[in-house]
Amino acid sequence: MSAAALTAPRPSNHPTSAFTPPGLGRLTRVELRKMVDTRAGFWLLIAAVALTFVVVAVRAVVGDAQDHTFLAVLNYGLQPVAILLPIAGVLLVTSEWSQRTALITFALTPMRSRILVAKLLASVALVSAMLVMVLVAVAAAVLIAAPGVEGTWEGGAPMIGQSAVYLITGMITGVAFGAALLASAPAIVAIFALPMAWAGVVSLPVLEDVAPWIDTVRSIGAMSEEVYSATQWAQAGTSLALWMVVPLLIGTYRVTRREISV
């Protein structure tokens, strides 16, 4: 028997069958697609776009010339998106558990924190696209309704930046509550009911001084209406730490630790 027949083949250091987890960019694109794949997500975004155009058109027609400035119309045009996008953020997380796709998702990407990061990145990308849509609709309406009016475009640049923060924080809050509760109905109720109930609590005279620092209704509500001062930004930061960061940390723990049932 030859020596070649007795020699066992050496194992390869680079197996060709090794599984490579999807990259973060690919995961983000997948999460973006999930937002429109479901009937709820698709019609939610359609409703946000349709309501934005309706509100902007009505605002551009009703009122005097000073009501047709870029800032005045932008404030109203942002509201449909600001209300509906957090719901899309909730559904992006909770759909994994309600539609029983979590087993497939986490089997392909065992590091669950990467999935959550991809959902956050997809949420920011969706908000950016919706903000561009709102700005185009508002600019077109202002050009038609108030051409040549003095001060029409005044303060537009800083308000665009604030509008982005306003929408992004609302969307991430929706993702955070969805991750913390992992159920659509309780999370949707929570993102609307809890801030309003808390606003009632902090309206007590004894909490008047501290209320702007812990109440997002006061600290974030005016972000689409006026340019913020340093103090207002500090108040927004502390209230968001309570209502966005804390639920997101809780949600991260729950998503990464929860058992998946078949």
Q: What does the H/E/C string look like for 55-100?
A: HHHHHHHCCCHHHHCHHHHHHHHHHHHHHHHHHHHHHHHHHHHHCC
| 180 located within any domain | yes
Handedness of CA 36, 41, 45, 47 (dihedral sign): positive
Please answer whether residues 167 and 85 qualify as being in contact, where contact means their C-beta atoms are separated by less than 8 angstroms: yes
* pLDDT range class, residue 55, cuts 50, 70, 90: very high
User: Measured between alpha carbons, how far is 29 from 104 in angstroms, rounded to an integer?
Assistant: 17
| 9 located within any domain | no
* 207 secondary structure, DSSP code: G
Per-residue pLDDT for 184 more than 60? yes
| 5 located within any domain | no
| 13 located within any domain | no
| 250 located within any domain | yes
User: Measured between alpha carbons, how far is 66 from 242 in angstroms, rounded to an integer?
Assistant: 37
Count of structural domains, the chain: 1
Shortest CA distance to 21 belongs to which of 122, 115, 125? 115
Residue 212 tokens read as 């702007």
| 12 located within any domain | no
Full residue range of the structural domain in which residue 245 is found: 22-257
HSE at residue 189, side-chain half, CA atoms within 13 A, is 6
Which of 64 and 140 is assigned the larger pLDDT? 140
Cβ–Cβ contacts within 10 Å for residue 37, how many? 11
Cβ–Cβ contacts within 10 Å for residue 48, how many? 20
Please answer whether residues 212 and 235 qualify as being in contact, where contact means their C-beta atoms are separated by less than 8 angstroms: yes
Average pLDDT value for residue range 200-210: 89
First-to-last C-alpha distance (Å) of the chain = 54
Per-residue pLDDT for 110 more than 90? no
Residue 243 tokens read as 């209502």
Residues ≥6 apart with Cβ < 8 Å to 27: 109, 114, 115, 118
Per-residue pLDDT for 256 more than 80? yes
Average pLDDT value for residue range 148-168: 85
User: Measured between alpha carbons, how far is 53 from 98 in angstroms, rounded to an integer?
Assistant: 32
pLDDT value at residue 221: 86
Write out pLDDT tens, residues 206-251. 988 899 999 998 899 889 888 899 999 999 999 999 999 999 999 9
Segment holding 228, helix H or strand E: none
Shortest CA distance to 134 belongs to which of 54, 65, 66? 54
Residue 245 tokens read as 């960061």
Which of 12 and 22 is assigned the larger pLDDT? 22
SS3 114: helix
pTM for the whole structure: 0.86
| 6 located within any domain | no
Per-residue pLDDT for 1 more than 60? no
Per-residue pLDDT for 5 more than 80? no
| 262 located within any domain | no
pLDDT value at residue 8: 47
Per-residue pLDDT for 56 more than 90? yes
Q: Distance of CA 182 to CAs 44, 95, 194, Å?
A: 19, 9, 17
Average pLDDT value for residue range 88-92: 93
Average pLDDT value for residue range 174-190: 94
Write out pLDDT tens, residues 57-66. 998 888 776 7
% of the chain at pLDDT higher than 70: 89
Per-residue pLDDT for 144 more than 50? yes
